[in-house]
Structure 1
Amino acid sequence: MATQTMALPAQPALPTGFKRWIIVITAVSAAIVELIDTSIVNVGLTDIAGNLGVTIEDVSWVVTSYAIANVIVIPMTGFLQRYFGRKNYYVGSIILFTLSSYGCGFATNLETLILFRFLQGVGGGALLSTSQGLIYDAFPASQRALASALFGMGIVLGPTLGPTLGGFIIDNYHWSWMFYINVPIGIIATFLSLTYIDKKPDEININRRAIHIDQLGILLLAVGIGSLQYVLERGEADDWFDSDAIFYLSIVAAISLPFFIWWELRGTKEPVVDLRVMKNRNLTIGSILVVVVGYGLFTSVLLYPLFAQRVVGLTATQTGLLLMPGGIITLPMFAISGRMLAKGVSPRLIVAVGYVAFSSFCFLMSTYNADASNGDFIVALIIRGIGLAFVNVPLINQSVSTLEPRQMPTGIAIVNMMRQIGGAFGVAITNTYVTQRTALHRSDLVSNLQPGSPQLTERLNALTQGLSARGINPLDAVSGAYKTLDGIITRQALMISYLDTFRLAGLFFVLSFPLLFLLKRKQMSAEAAKAAADAAH
């Protein structure tokens, strides 16, 4: 009888039926909402800037502050959950995210908006990380592949739905509703979490005095990762090292991050992030591959709307709606991916299929032009959805499959952080590459315009006559013709630069493909899978 009593706290009953799916829906919804907020604001920056009376450069801090807070909190989630208890930390983060969302919508000046966006990012970092552990805990070890698929669905759908929802709100409502929409979701998620999520045995009586706080490690992590994220987010807009802020923060990151690595490995016995797990080959290689996946995910989310709106001329709402078929097809693909893993199909094979699909999406997009149809975009985005569904779940599982159970919390935290950093690198590389290639292609196009050539003369005459037919006087019509031609050249140069950038994204996948075969093939054990569920992430 005594043995039975001792076993009960260590093996809490799994939720079943209605309770299980309420927990899953709550956790997936929280992860999706958090990731939606990484991209939903992008389409509304112009409206926010105009309403608050600031420049686009200033308002971009609304994006940067959220990203910095997010990437700082994610690797510390394991420690924070041990200190506060997973349920307390999760519910507290939902409340912080919800209140901050309301504050963002209510903000009447840029400083207040940036402050609440940073706080929103702090709360959001926990929503992404902790949701995975909650979903894992809702299923037995034999069904953990399904749990991974459900979480992976949120990872992909969040950034995909962000521009769609943001475009609809901007076209039909005030920008503040991009934030207010989180409030009812947050209230419902708080109620459901308090009601249906149980505390684990080690959360009931936490002895916080016995938990060592790695204060220096936390400081170095926040300063180093925060500085790096700022440089990646703001580098292109601020002309990289021509900006004093970029220059000095690059130095800060270059000093803080190596010192953080040394401190976590050698300087403290109880690190906030146990980097010793990076000795594991699967985790190291998997982290590199996850950076590439994050790069591809966030780059495609950034590039596709720009191409559709600035080159093809679609509205924000039309651009968003075209994402829906790809998002819908992604749902069954995640289920199929999870089922294949459960049946013992090699994760490397599934990831390889996903890599091929995502590379195909990139190279297909690189063949489009200003005459691309809605059907063209839908086909490409469906291929993208299939690729992301087949890459995310098995790659995350395989990255941590050879870790010891005690290493799971840190391993999964590192994978989540690397995906976010990959996204930041993707945005930085994309912005820089597009700017440089646009300038190059514009120069090439202009050099082909020879004064006095029949083709140029014919085109200018046609533009002039068209403007004159609208009632514009001859002198203004000539001037307008040159301006129109300049706009055509700029649009063409921009289009070619987008095509180049899609090729570059596809090239990253092609070059990293051989790393898949360095991953050790190993199914995650039941003990390890349970440790992953118990992890903070």
Structure 2
Amino acid sequence: MATQQPAPYPPLHGGQLVLATFAVALATFMNVLDTSIANVAIPTISGNLGVSVDEGTWVITVFAAANAVSIPLTGWLTQRLGQIKLFVGAVALFTLASFLCGIAPNLPVLLFARVLQGVVAGPLIPMSQAILLGSYPKEKSSMALALWAMTATVGPIAGPSLGGWITDRYSWSWIFYINIPVGIFAALVSWSIYRHRESPTRKLPIDLVGLCLLITWVGALQIMLDKGRDLDWFSSGLIVGLAVTAFVSFVLFVIWELTEAHPIVDLRLFGQRNFLGGTVAISIAYGVFFGNLVLLPQWMQEYLNYRSVDAGMVMAPLGIFALVLSPVVGKLLPKSDARIIATVAFLTFAGVFYMRADYVLEIDTWHLVLPTLLQGIPMALFFIPLTAIILSGQPPHRIPAAAGLSNFVRVFCGAIGTSIAGTVWNDRTVLHHERLTEAANADNPLFAHQIDMIRSLLHLDTNAANNLFDSTVNAQAAMMGLNDIFFVSAIIFLLIIPLIWITRPAKGGGGADASGAH
């Protein structure tokens, strides 16, 4: 039977373990970096390619959607190719796709390259988890998860600052070119160390029906979310058709996968309490976090006149506490209840978003940086415990499938979170603009007096004064809309805390059992 695998390979030691960890971490970092590095560059990319910012946002969402679709293939590909061949091959193809992104002359070509990049990136995160867990002694499994989490959390954090700096100093193409040397190094080192530690393989039939249904419902839902705002949502026949397609194909997908002998996605994992609670909690949290991570630098550039590099630098402190605390959490986890640590993380997230919920247009840089700095604390506290809870109790052969499915849900929620956050921000901005301008008409003496003051102080004609007033109101409305999102985000983090507590306490704080990859 496939579950009766040969004796596990012994853990790595010394310099080989350090180098292997660094190479695998670099591959993970390269992958997760590309989920956010384009965030601050979207206005620049859109301008250079001659498209709107809304269209440019597809650079982010198509990557996330393609990545999400391919992640569930990890379990099947692992058994067909082996962990090491799959991991190294994915790193090499990701490097090639990054080159294609950099040379893209227009948006369709760039989107095609980003889809390819997202598809080949699918196995990287679950495989990196499994490979690292198999490289460390069982008692060090929590530390292995902590080291993995450092790269998984710092990548999206470093993306905006690095992307802003590269875009400002060089060209947006270089946000993709920087993956080339990193990918080559990670692939060569990983292959040299792990090529003799390949996992057993067996030929399994591919679940083509399940794969087609997965692509259909994910694609239809993502397009619906991205185009809904432009097409006035359900007043559009296309949006209605996409919604129906997404719903029907999703229902068929669930039914098929639960009855298929070799499903592309093992939905039975959701029958495990820890997997269900941990996956839903980490996915909703990531969706809210990532949606805000996209909006904040965009707001700074559009309404506070920050350069892309400046917006990126405001986001950079997010990585300080995440880096410092991740190893600490790794050491504490075996002696602690992972649920308590994750709860503290969600409470801190809620506090950070509440701090942001009263932003004003005159805000100084420090008050933008402070919540960003503090947000690094829950970033370190929620990834590691929830990952440990999700993987706790999984036998070795199910680690890739469990990691793949949980990461699929998390990454897809990140894509959905980006689309929903952008749509809600636009709708709330329009609503606040209407409310702020209800009395802005020529019959209102206060409004007329205000326009006269603008004209006299700035020596403008009436049209110019009205345009300036509208621009000011629009900036105020956008800020108020963003504050609404921050406040709701804080509430969401409080509401998902009970999900953590439907799980059972994982042995050793969740880390020990996760070492089933050995």
Structure 1 length normalisation: TM-score?
Answer: 0.89
Q: Is the 8 A contact 2:62 2:114 kept in 1?
A: yes
C-alpha displacement at 1:13, in angstroms? 2.3
CA distance in 2, matches of 1:239, 1:326: 36
CA distance in 2, matches of 1:188, 1:29: 9
Paired letter, 1:116: A
Q: Is the 8 A contact 1:235 1:428 kept in 2?
A: no
Q: Name 1:276's counterpart in structure 2.
A: 268
Q: Name 1:217's counterpart in structure 2.
A: 210
Q: Name 2:20's counterpart in structure 1.
A: 23
Q: Is the 8 A contact 2:64 2:118 kept in 1?
A: yes
Q: Is the 8 A contact 1:171 1:316 kept in 2?
A: yes
Paired letter, 2:301: Q
- Equivalent residue in structure 2 for 1:509, among 487, 493, 501: 493
Moved more, 405-414 or 16-25: 405-414
Q: Name 1:35's counterpart in structure 2.
A: 32
Q: Deviations over 1:406-454 (max 9, x none)?
A: 5433322221112112212322221222122111111111124465666
- Equivalent residue in structure 2 for 1:478, among 462, 466, 478: 462
Q: Deviations over 1:51-86 (max 9, x none)?
A: 334444554443333222101111111111111111
- Residues matched between the structures, number: 514
List runs of 5+ in structure 1 lacking aligned partners.
Answer: 1-6, 469-475
Q: Is the 8 A contact 2:166 2:172 kept in 1?
A: yes
Q: Deviations over 1:8-51 (max 9, x none)?
A: 96132211121112121122221222122122223333333343
Moved more, 8-17 or 426-435: 8-17
Q: Name 1:152's counterpart in structure 2.
A: 149
Moved more, 499-508 or 134-143: 134-143
Q: Name 1:321's counterpart in structure 2.
A: 313
Q: Name 1:3's counterpart in structure 2.
A: none
Pairwise mapping of residues 69-84 of structure 1 onto structure 2 (< 5 A)? Answer: 69-84=66-81
Q: Secondary structure at the match of 1:314?
A: coil
Larger radius of gyration: 1
Moved more, 513-522 or 452-461: 452-461
Q: Name 1:240's counterpart in structure 2.
A: 233
Q: Is residue 190 from structure 1 mapped to residue 190 from structure 2 by the alignment? A: no
C-alpha displacement at 1:347, in angstroms? 0.8
- Equivalent residue in structure 2 for 1:337, among 323, 329, 340: 329
Q: Is residue 428 from structure 1 mapped to residue 425 from structure 2 by the alignment? A: no
- Equivalent residue in structure 2 for 1:441, among 408, 432, 447: 432
Q: Is residue 178 from structure 1 mapped to residue 175 from structure 2 by the alignment? A: yes
Q: Name 1:530's counterpart in structure 2.
A: 515
Pairwise mapping of residues 362-373 of structure 1 onto structure 2 (< 5 A)? Answer: 362-373=353-364
Q: Name 1:300's counterpart in structure 2.
A: 292
Q: 1:497 to 1:56 in 2, by over 3 A?
A: closer
Q: Name 1:472's counterpart in structure 2.
A: none
- Equivalent residue in structure 2 for 1:461, among 452, 460, 464: 452
Moved more, 381-390 or 215-224: 215-224
C-alpha displacement at 1:226, in angstroms? 2.8
Q: Is the 8 A contact 2:88 2:191 kept in 1?
A: yes
Moved more, 48-57 or 479-488: 48-57
Q: Name 1:376's counterpart in structure 2.
A: 367
Q: Name 1:67's counterpart in structure 2.
A: 64
Paired letter, 2:232: D
Q: Name 2:82's counterpart in structure 1.
A: 85
Paired letter, 2:349: F
C-alpha displacement at 1:280, in angstroms? 1.0
Q: Secondary structure at the match of 2:40?
A: helix
Q: 1:149 to 1:526 in 2, by over 3 A?
A: closer
CA distance in 2, matches of 1:131, 1:403: 16
Q: Name 2:401's counterpart in structure 1.
A: 410
Paired letter, 1:325: P
Paired letter, 2:351: S
Q: 1:285 to 1:187 in 2, by over 3 A?
A: same
CA distance in 1, matches of 2:202, 2:74: 18
Structure 2 length normalisation: TM-score?
Answer: 0.93
CA distance in 1, matches of 2:144, 2:119: 25
Q: Is the 8 A contact 1:68 1:230 kept in 2?
A: no
Moved more, 389-398 or 320-329: 320-329
- Equivalent residue in structure 1 for 2:380, among 378, 389, 392: 389
What value does the CA root-mean-square deviation take over the aligned residues? 2.4
C-alpha displacement at 1:390, in angstroms? 0.7
Moved more, 144-153 or 409-418: 409-418
